[in-house]
Amino acid sequence: MTNAISKALFLLGGALFLSVEDVQGLQAALSIRSKASVVDSRSALLAASVASLPNTNSNSNSTSADNGEIEFPPPLTGFQRTKRAIEFYKRALPVLAAYKAKEVELQFRRSALGENIPDWEENQIWAEMDEWGSTRIAETIQEMKGFYVKTGQVISTRVDLFPEAYTSKLQELQDGLEPMPYELVEKVVRQELLDGAPLSELFATFDKEPLGAASIAQVHKATLLDGRVVAVKLQRPNVEPKLLGDVANLKRISKALAKSLPVDYYTVL
């Protein structure tokens, strides 16, 4: 069980290698964006070609917004990606360490002190650990967003692999997501579909409350001028750079691991 959790956390972090590697190249990463752009030059181009809006992304310290017109933040730089990986590990490693410590403690009590720990007591100890650990991990994922949310969702569906505390806590990520405020929704739709013109040029009505909000997009009900009832799905402006950055991190880790794994999985990608 402990094993399954450490694997999952390891996977979620996906970038310890990256942090080491990128700290060496930190200067380079700071001065040029090209590193991240190589990962997805297409999205860099796209990001550079769209116009801007303030307050979309509170934690993007984008250096490339010098024309002041970028609404959708550009891809994360190597430095930002490293920061994300470090941030995750800073919060996930204590959980891992606590599990390991508990394991060692139990072993010690058994072998050195000759204690006989009954199954029920051990199960209870692990249940408590799971409760505590899953709360911390769910919080971390909630705040970090990006690919971590997606991975968390996948874990939440695998009740066969992970302890119940984890699957149920992560299940909440499935639908308990904070939607974008309506002001932002309106700006995104106007910019993407209307060239900045007001919504009334296209929609007779537009519901302010979303029908649903997920990690990548949310959906609003609306009526077109001709009366057709439609669903408008719109992407969160700050999701793309985080997601692509996390996926890039993940690929790098599997590439780095390729040598130590029996099968070279990176070639499969």
Partner 1 sequence: MQMILSASCELGDALVNELNFYAEAQAMRKIDLAISHNADGTATERPLAIPLPIGELVSKRVLVMDFVEGVPLNKLREKMLEKGIEPGSPESKIAGRRILNSLALAFGRMIFGSGFIHVSE
Residues 6+ apart with CB under 8 A from 152: 12, 137, 138, 141, 170, 173
Contact 77/29 with Cβ under 8 angstroms?
A: yes
Q: Which of 88, 118, 244, 259 binds partner 1 (CB under 8 A)?
A: 244
Q: Which stretch binds partner 1 (CB under 8 A): 22-30, 52-60, 93-101, 222-230?
A: 222-230
Query: 177-206: which residues touch partner 1 (CB under 8 A)?
Result: 188-189, 192-193, 202
Q: How far is the CB of 231 from partner 1 (least distance, A)?
A: 5
Q: How far is the CB of 92 from partner 1 (least distance, A)?
A: 15
Q: Which stretch binds partner 1 (CB under 8 A): 39-47, 87-95, 103-111, 126-134?
A: 39-47
**Smaller CB distance to partner 1: residue 102 or 190?**
190
- Give me the phi and psi of 204, to 5 degrees please: -80, -40
Radius of gyration of the chain (CA): 22
- 185 vs 4, 11, 61, 133, 217, CA distance in Å? 39, 33, 22, 35, 11
Angle subtended by helix axes 164-175 and 147-157, to nearest 10: 130
Query: 76-115: which residues touch partner 1 (CB under 8 A)?
Result: none
Is 262 a binding residue for partner 1 by CB under 8 A? The answer is yes
Residues 47, 190: Cα–Cα separation, whole Å: 17
Torsion of CA 185, 190, 193, 196, to 10 degrees: -160
Binding site for partner 1 (CB under 8 A): 7-8, 10-11, 14, 40, 43, 46, 72, 147, 150-151, 154, 188-189, 192-193, 202, 216, 221-222, 224, 228-235, 237, 239-240, 243-244, 246-247, 250-251, 253-254, 257, 261-263, 265, 268-269
